[in-house]
Amino acid sequence: MKIKLTYVLSKNKISLEYFCTKLDINDYESLLKVCGTKKYYCDVNIDEYNLMINHKKSINKKENVKKENKSQTATTKGRRRGRKPKAKSARDDS
């Protein structure tokens, strides 16, 4: 009996992207092969897989742009605040 891949992903609370990254899956045929060996029914079609791959690539491009922008600007450290002084209690005065 085969279990649906989407059921396994939702049960483990992981995304298809994370699943493919963790098992080093680079194309749809590899996904089908892994599902066959693990006795999963691959209910993810090729269009959904391609959307996930395209989304993953666009996120990586955005992260690279953000990293380049951060490296170009100089960051300054803020001044560190000291601790608050302890409040005087009524016992200290007498």
In a domain, 67, yes or no: no
Query: Is 85 part of a structural domain of the chain?
Result: no
Does residue 15 belong to any structural domain of this protein? yes
Answer yes or no: is 80 within a domain. no
Confirm whether 22 is domain-assigned: yes
79: in domain = no
**CB burial string 51-76: b at 16+ within 10 A, e below:** ebbeeeeeeeeeeeeeeeeeeeeeee
**Number of domains composing the chain:** 1
Tens of pLDDT, residue by residue, the chain (94 residues): 889 989 999 999 998 888 888 988 888 999 999 999 999 998 888 888 888 877 666 666 666 666 666 655 556 667 777 777 777 777 665 5
Q: Which domain holds residue 44?
A: 3-62
Within a domain: 55? yes
